[in-house]
Amino acid sequence: MHSAHARRSLRLINDSGAISAASAWLRSLGDTFDLGSELVFRLDLCASELVANIVNYAFDDEAPHTIALDLILEPQSVKLVVADDGREFDPLSLPEPVPPATLEAASLGGLGVHLVRQFAEQVSYERASGRNQVTLAWTRPGRNERGPRTPIRRGIERRRQQAPAFPVQRARLGMVERDERSGLERRALGFISRLELFRDVPYALIEGVLAHCAQRDYPDEYIVLSPGMHNDHVALVIEGRLRVHLEDPAREPSLSGVSFIGRGECAGELSIIDGEPASAWVVAEPGTRLLLIDAHTFFSELLPLPQVARNLLRLMAGRMRRANQQTVEQVRASMLLERLQSELRTAREIQSGMLPMRSPMFAEHPEIECEASIQQAQEIGGDFFDAFFIDEHRVFVAIGDVCGKGMPAALLMMRTLTTLRAEAARKQGQKGHLERVMERTNRKLALNNERMLFASLFIALLDTRSGSLRYANAGHLRPVLLRTRHTPALLKVPRNPIAGIDPTIDYSLGETQLGPGDLLVLYTDGVTEALNGRGELYGEQRLLATLAGVCGAPGAIEAVRQSMQQFCAGRSPSDDVTLLALRYNGPA
């Protein structure tokens, strides 16, 4: 902890190096005494302006002269005293500047002393013992026990208000020399302190240079650079932000792989260094303002300043680190995506392996004919079907569609399928068997279902000795029943809610009698909701018309698949397409 009282002094020789020395000295003391960036900004600005004024205008002879700076720290205040033995000059006696009416009437400079008066809280002048002495004072920043340093309000806004009321555009403003010490002052731009490229650079060394550079506003999004474009400027972001795209932003609007150049940073420096055309798209976002520094000014007047070169290297190194990190993240994301895709392919193989894909399904049972087909819209989906004999004479069939797509749907699908198999295979006697399968499956799916996932189901039990068909429907589409010598029609089923939401539901069952040659076709909504190029649905009526006159389970599946392919005209399905056909041939 530094003492509350301190005094530090600096003696400077009257030459151009005095400005840099004063700036570096004050910034070093600011760090030593923890004065905070706001106060150091003001100290640096005021000292640079006063020393520049003294170096240029204070002395009339060739004799050596010195400039004295004293920084006085007290518990509640900070004072800066700047003294010289030049000709008498009271900066407080200068009138406020009057903005010129036009750009052509303006001369660069003349505002330095006025900026000092604005950026100091108190200013006093005295002439004593043949010396000019200007004393500046500020309230010293303090710390409370836990909070941050009390901020000092910067004078940026006031400085903007006092600046000439015309925009600085690309024009060569005349450098008018004056005899008065209040004359030429190079500090004409108010944004320099916000640019990282000029961090810790004395303001008097650069603002005269930058006053000749163009400022450009972009009210709308605008492509500043594109691959192959020749570039001869460094663009400094004063306000807003630039986006850098490696791919054409018009074709790839996503922000993945996009980097940003924010306020105070620059773009285009690489292309003017190596002379090569731009290699990426640089897009100015709406509300962006850029300062454009031509290559000659950048190389001949700015880069020779050591701190500017150091700042440029720091900005380029930071951008390179960010690019490297982005590359690492992209490679990691690519590897993760590849691994996920591999896992999805494995999951699809596992999922497909759980379904009875053999054809025909029950060659050893001539009393029935069963065929099924599934076309998944993604790597893994939510549709499923099943068919198996639970005893010598009864065959259990099921079809379902779980909510969602991808891995969650696949997991719920496998859970539903395994639960159905377990419950259907349980020895429960013939009476009430199907009711218990439906109700127990629903109850198990509803347990620990915080995400409220659900499934639509249609299950049926066919007795091959009598042709008796009992079935339960949980929010699924009604199957198509084709009776011999009859028009295809939708099976009448009791209305029941979907499975997996309410564990207390009692499901109603339906029952019908199949005769030899009757055909039952089960399907999912991927069939009826398929779209063609005009946005039309395949629909139930087209399905019924397609099944009219078909013969056998394989013929029904093939007829629907061909009809859908012709209807969709090559469009990929947006949902899984699942079909199961069961034909009763009569008792063996």
Phi and psi for 421 in degrees, rounded to 5? Answer: -65, -45
pLDDT at 99: 61
**Tens digit of pLDDT for each residue in 166-183?**
333 333 222 233 333 433
CATH architecture of the domain formed by 355-584: 4-Layer Sandwich (3.60)
User: What are the strands, taking DSSP E only, across 438-500?
Assistant: 455-463, 468-474, 480-482, 489-490
- Say what the pLDDT of residue 103 is: 47
Residue 575's pLDDT is: 83
Nearest residue to 42 via CA among 143, 156, 191, 176 = 156
Taking only the tens place, the pLDDT of each residue in 325-378 is 777 777 787 788 788 777 777 777 777 777 887 888 999 999 999 999 998 776
pLDDT for residue 322: 76
pLDDT at 451: 78
Report which DSSP code applies to 249. T
Q: Which residues contact 405 (CB under 8 A, 6 or more apart)?
A: 377, 378, 381, 382
Task: Note the pLDDT of residue 190.
Answer: 60
Q: CA 381, 382, 388 angle in degrees (round to 5)?
A: 110
Give pTM, 2 decimals. Answer: 0.49
Sheet holding 509-513, edge to edge: 383-389, 394-402, 455-463, 468-474, 509-513
- DSSP class per residue in 160-173: HHHS-SS---S---
Per domain, the residue ranges of the chain are: 1-168, 355-584
Q: Would you say the C-alpha torsion 29, 33, 36, 39 has a positive or negative sign?
A: negative
CATH of 1-168, one of 3.30.565.10, 3.40.50.2300, 3.30.70.360, 3.30.43.10: 3.30.565.10
3-state secondary structure of 399: strand
Peptide bond into 360 cis (omega under 30): yes
For CA atoms 208, 210, 212, 218, the dihedral sign is negative
DSSP class of residue 467 equals -
Which stretches of the chain score pLDDT less than 70?
Answer: 1-3, 16, 98-111, 143-191, 193-194, 252-257, 378-381, 428-430
Three-class SS of 5-20: CEEEEEEEECCCHHHH
- pLDDT at site 137: 95
Asked if residue 169 lies in contact with residue 214, where contact means CB atoms within 8 angstroms, the answer is yes
Q: How many other CB atoms are found less than 10 A from the CB of residue 549?
A: 11
- Phi/psi for 204 (5° steps) reads -65, -20
